[in-house]
Structure 1
Amino acid sequence: MSAELTPEVVDFLSAGTRTGLLAFTAADGRPLAAPVWFVVEDGALVFNTGATTAKGRALARDPRVALVVDIAEPPYAFVQVQGVAETSEDPGELVRTATALGARYMGADRAEEYGRRNAVPGELVVRLRPTKVVANLAVAD
């Protein structure tokens, strides 16, 4: 266990179009989880979400979250990143991150389309800074 993303963990998180499952706490204390598109940048996991979504409201109340990425087939693997989320509404960062997310998940030919579509007022850039990383990159081995 570590508080940093090792090169092996970054490779795992960055492979293909794996999505993350973000765990957060609802206002009434219930645990919730939602899928997110993300990229790894400068030792953090970066994603976008709306400020008024359940995720956005939860982050405003309590920035402590966890994000899990897994492979659900042999050799089975997972990474759990626990940490503190920082949010920004900077328009330039919104366009840049939304475009990067569009490129990863929809392909380079649609990156700008998704960047424009998702970088609108009311959206947030979220940077999940790890405080603990748990990884098992070969569960079945």
Structure 2
Amino acid sequence: MLRELTPEVRSFLETATWPGVLSTLGPGGAPITSAVWFGFLEGDVIISTPAGRPKARNARNDSRVSFIVDTKDRPYRGVAIEGEAEVLEDHGKALMRSIAMRYLGPELPPEMEERIALRDRVVLGIRPRKVRPWNLA
């Protein structure tokens, strides 16, 4: 069952400009964790990654993932999500450009444009099943 996101969680995910942490399940079932840039689109967390990276392979083999993003300043707060990742072959480069602009601003450096252009990319769309906002204030 999909989890409805509260307005506070939506706002947090829409405005966060610090990396999140994605965990996928590796071939032996062990969690594989990666720091990632992310976006938020139509209720899904979206991550663009080169097509051959372990996170893309792992999500194809087992769609169960977890994702967490938090603040780096007091009061510490964040959102932890468990969900299903869908690997989307189309739009990886366009979404990566959009995600990069979220972190770097509207004028991307030439090296980032090159990095985006040189690799085949996929998008991981994470549908939240469990959502746990937290606050350590």
**Structure 2 length as normaliser, TM-score?**
0.87
Q: Deviations over 1:78-126 (max 9, x none)?
A: 2011111111111xx2232012111101110118974663255531111
Whether the 8 Å contact between 2:88 and 2:123 is mirrored in structure 1 is yes
Q: Which amino acid aligns with 1:97?
A: L
Match of 2:4 in 1: 4
Whether the 8 Å contact between 1:23 and 1:33 is mirrored in structure 2 is yes
The alignment's C-alpha RMSD in Å is: 2.1
Paired residue secondary structure (1:59):
helix
Match of 1:135 in 2: 133
- Mean Cα deviation higher: 78-87 or 110-119: 110-119
Whether the 8 Å contact between 1:95 and 1:115 is mirrored in structure 2 is no
Change (3 A) 1:13 1:112: farther
**Structure 1 length as normaliser, TM-score?**
0.84
Structural mapping, 1:34-113, within 5 Å: 34-90=34-90, 93-110=91-108
Equivalences, count: 136
Unaligned 5+ runs, structure 1: none
Paired residue secondary structure (1:109):
coil
Q: Which amino acid aligns with 2:56?
A: G
